[in-house]
Each structure stands twice: as structure tokens, then as C-alpha cells.
Amino acid sequence: MSNEIKHHLTDELLMGYSAGTLPEAFNLMVATHLSLCDACRAQAESYDTLGGCMLQDVSETVDMADDALDATLALIAGGVAADAPTRPSCDVLPAPLRDYVGGSVSDIKWKPVGMGVKQAILPTSAAASARLLFIPAGAAVPDHGHKGMELTMVLQGAFSDAIDRFARGDVEIADEDLEHMPVADISADCICLAVTDAPLKFNSLIPRLLQPFLRI
Amino acid sequence: MFAEVEPVETCGAAEAVHQIMRKRKTSVRKGKTAVNREDDGCKPQGEWVAHVLRIRSAQDKPAFAELFRHFAPRVKAFLIKSGSTPSQAEECTQEVMATLWHKAHLFDPSRASVATWVYTIARNRRIDLLRKERRPEPEELTWGPEAEPDQVDIVALQQETAHLRKALKALPQAQRDLIEKAYFGDLSHREIAARTGLPLGTIKSRIRLALDRLRHAMK
């Protein structure tokens, strides 16, 4: 599957994921992409290795309390919190997304945003936002630019814009310089995960008026 | 973090460093790999691996105590550097070490050193604790029929980690400090700039330089 992915995450994002410095919505994007992409997963794990080395050789250590080991053994004796139940698999949503949706693709609570396009905002911290987008086969998302950074990853179907064609697992990274109008392939409805650290700006009047209601 | 960092800046060097790791991954998947027998002064099995395996198979408390004495003061330092209060860090470190015991059966020495594994547990706990956020993790890999990792793969991974660690230690202090801040400080590049007084461009090029040196050291 990974062989088919052409558009990957940047090393900056992978290092940020490993260091734990990204907003939750971006962590969700990275975790979802890594679920589909072995190459990026290997790179992310190598950044974890760098973190492990830094931990081993941290410039100074801090002593634990005198009774810390006993307290920890008592914690261990107390048992372990039950893991979250594993959700049944889904051909569209990898595990991290199933956790945020609370189920499979049929459980997504879509809200129409016009012209057949639907979205579902996912519950993340406010530093950045994550949403699922549904673009009907052959439909276009209005021409728009971006204020901050926006990542869009295809989960089902495919879309094309002036840059390239993006299929399952591919991530398009948009910033302030990109104005584009993604069009879904005619063969299938397109479902994407989109995360952004700033509101999108639309180039025509009506979507701009809609924007506050869309929370995008 | 995004508005202030251009993704391309550190890409080249980081990419190069990680091709090495990617090769490692590919060989893990194939299940066979050539082992670098060069003596680098490290236990071929990897430091602390035997301890975790003893915890897993025999609930070995003396092994856990040794691991605890080594890693707990490091995890605590990591949490304090990341902005925890000392009492938060103490409590959180105990939880991290308890997690290590409970999850010992999930540790895979052909994919991570013990230090890497402890680091990821501590990092996730830090996000829970300090940011009160969930930490989405990738879907578990399904490894196919073989249940136990190949000894050859374990040796290869543990040796590569030892090489990386050695290379990291050999970095000039200024570069090490920046990498440490990027990992432990929970700081963006811009915040590091504010704290060290170095301009953003300098910081990015220093991190790039550090990753570049690591790549050469690992050849």
C-alpha cells in the first residue's frame, strides 16, 4: 500500500510528532498517515530513536523521592487501567480516526456545507482544527487560499488540483502561497482528512460569508 | 509552530539521516538483514533489553529496580525541562515506570531500544498531563506469522541505535543543546530563538547541521 503513496509528510512534521510539539489536530493527521505509510512510519520511529538517545544522555538528571521505587511498585500492584476497546476495522478510516469518529465511516456525523460538500469537525484542542471532508464524485471545493498551514489527506477516492492528483494516503500541504480548487475524481466520492492551524479564506463572496458558520 | 517554520528547511539533512533508519525498517520487514559486527563497545543485545524481557517473562522486581534507578531520574529531568513542576514530574515519572512494567509484553527490541521505548511512553504521558490532550497513535502493524522478532534484527536495530547515540554525543555542545531543546523543551523553533537569543535562521541551520553531522557519523 505504501508504494502507491506519492505525497508524504515533511520531516519537520515527523520530528514534531516525535518530539510531541504539534497541536492535537496535526498529531491526528500524522498518526493517520503513518497508519497507511511505512516509509513515514520508519522515519517517525527513527526520530523517536533520537529522542531515546537524548533521554539516555540528558545533560542532567533529577533525583527521585526516597520512596519512589516503593510507590511505583505499589502502583504496579494496583493493576492497570483497561485499554480502550479496539474498534472494528474500516476500509476508509485508520484506527486513530476511528477513535475520533467513535466508529467507522458510517458513523461520521456529516453536516452539509453547500454544493454537495459535507464536513464533520473532529474534537481536538483549539490550537488547530481537524475535520473530515466529503466531496461528491466530480465535484469541486470552491477556489480558496490559506492563512496558515493546511494538510489534506485522501482517505477514499481521489482529488486533483493544479499541483497534482492525490489518492488514498497522499497528503497535500498547502500554505499561504497556494490558491487551489480541488476537484474530486468522477469515479468515486472523495473523503479527506483536513487539518489547519488557521481559518481558510475563500475567494468568492458566498463561501466567505458562510465561513463563520463552517468553523473552517 | 507552523507559521514560523518552513518545512523544507531541515528536510534534506533529516531525510538523509533517516534513510539509514528506513533501510533498517525495510530489513525488519523482510525478516533478514546483514549484521554489522563492528564492536562499538555496546552489548550486542542492546542495553537494558534483557531487563525488560525478564520483567515480561518473570515479573522480575530486581530487574525493574535497576531499570528504575537508571531511567526514572532521566524521565523526571525530561518532564521538568518540559515545564512540569517537580511534584508533577515525580508523580508522572512513577506512572511512566509503572506503564513500562504493565506494557513490557508490547516491547519489541527489533523496533526500538529500551531508551526509545521509555522516551515514547514519557512523551505521551507528558502530552496527557501538561496539555490535557489525547495523543493519537498510528494503527498497530500486523507483523504476519512470526510471533517473535528475529535475533539478528534485534542485534541490528540495537547496534544502529548505539551508533546514533555515539554520533549524537560527539556533536558540538551548541548543536546538542538545540536538539535537546527541540525534544525536551516543548518549544517551537521561534520559542527557542527567543530563549537563546539566536535568530531563527541560525537555529534552523544549526539543527540542519546537527542532523547532517549525524548522517555522516552513521555512514
Element spanning A196, H or E? strand A190-196
Q: pLDDT category, B25, cuts 50, 70, 90?
A: very low
Could you give the dihedral angle defined by the CA atoms of residues A39, A44, A45 and A48, in that order, rounded to the nearest 10 degrees? 170
pLDDT tens by residue, B137-196: 998 876 554 567 778 888 888 888 888 888 888 878 877 887 887 777 656 666 666 666
Sequence letter at residue A114: G
pLDDT tens by residue, A79-114: 877 666 777 888 899 999 999 999 999 999 999 988
pLDDT over threshold 80, residue B213: no
pLDDT over threshold 50, residue A143: yes
B202 or A105, which is more confident: A105
pTM: 0.80
Q: Is B48 near chain A, with CB under 8 Å?
A: no
| DSSP code for A180 | B
pLDDT over threshold 80, residue B89: yes
Question: HEC profile for A112-175?
Answer: EEECCEEEEEECCCCCCEEEEEEECCCCECCCEEECCCEEEEEEECEEECCCCEEECCCEEEEC
Question: HEC profile for B100-128?
Answer: HHHCHHHCCCCCCCHHHHHHHHHHHHHHH
Q: pLDDT category, A153, cuts 50, 70, 90?
A: very high
Q: What residues 55-114 of chain A have any CB closer than 8 A to a CB of chain B? A: 55-65, 68-69, 71-73, 75-76, 80, 94-96, 99-100
pLDDT tens by residue, B54-79: 999 999 999 999 999 999 999 999 99
- What local confidence, expressed as pLDDT, does residue B45 receive? 60
Distance from CA of B118 to the nearest CA of A (A): 7
**ipTM score of the complex?**
0.84
- What local confidence, expressed as pLDDT, does residue A38 receive? 86
Q: Is A2 near chain B, with CB under 8 Å?
A: no
Cβ-Cβ contacts under 8 Å, B142 against chain A: none
- Give the whole-number percent of chain B exceeding pLDDT 70: 60
- Give Cα B187 to chain centroid, integer Å: 17
A116 phi-psi bin (left φ>0, alpha ψ -120 to 50, beta other): left
Distance from CA of B95 to the nearest CA of A (A): 7
pLDDT tens by residue, A156-214: 999 998 889 999 999 999 877 777 788 999 889 999 999 988 754 544 445 544 554 45
Cβ-Cβ contacts under 8 Å, B7 against chain A: 10-13, 173
Question: What contacts 24+ positions apart, CB below 8 Å, involve A63-68?
Answer: A63/B73, A63/B76, A64/B72, A64/B73, A64/B76, A64/B90, A64/B93, A65/B90, A68/B68, A68/B72, A68/B90, A68/B93, A68/B94
Closest A-chain CA to B79? A62
pLDDT over threshold 50, residue B1: no
Cα-Cα-Cα-Cα dihedral sign, residues B1, B204, A18, A20: negative
Mutation pick from B139, B188, B215 vs chain A, by most beta carbons of A within 10 Å, is: B139
B2 or B136, which is more confident: B136
- What local confidence, expressed as pLDDT, does residue B217 receive? 60
CA-closest candidate to residue B120, choices A107, A18, A70, A158: A18
CB contact under 8 Å between A52 and B78, yes or no, is: no
- What local confidence, expressed as pLDDT, does residue B12 receive? 37
Pick from A15, A99, A100: CB nearest B14: A15
Q: Is A24 near chain B, with CB under 8 Å?
A: yes
What domains sit in chain A, N to C, each tagged with a CATH number?
Answer: 11-77 (1.10.10.1320), 95-214 (2.60.120.10)
For residues A73-82, give the mean pLDDT. 85
pLDDT over threshold 80, residue B208: no
Closest B-chain CA to A28? B136
Pick from A22, A42, A55: CB nearest B74: A55
pLDDT tens by residue, A112-137: 988 888 999 999 888 888 999 999 99
A6 or A174, which is more confident: A6
- What local confidence, expressed as pLDDT, does residue B11 receive? 34
- What local confidence, expressed as pLDDT, does residue B142 receive? 62
Q: Is A52 near chain B, with CB under 8 Å?
A: yes
C-alpha cell at B153: 534484527
Number of A to B CB contacts under 8 A, please give it. 214
What domains sit in chain B, N to C, each tagged with a CATH number?
Answer: 14-26+43-133+152-218 (1.10.1740.10)
Q: Is A182 near chain B, with CB under 8 Å?
A: no
Q: pLDDT category, B81, cuts 50, 70, 90?
A: confident
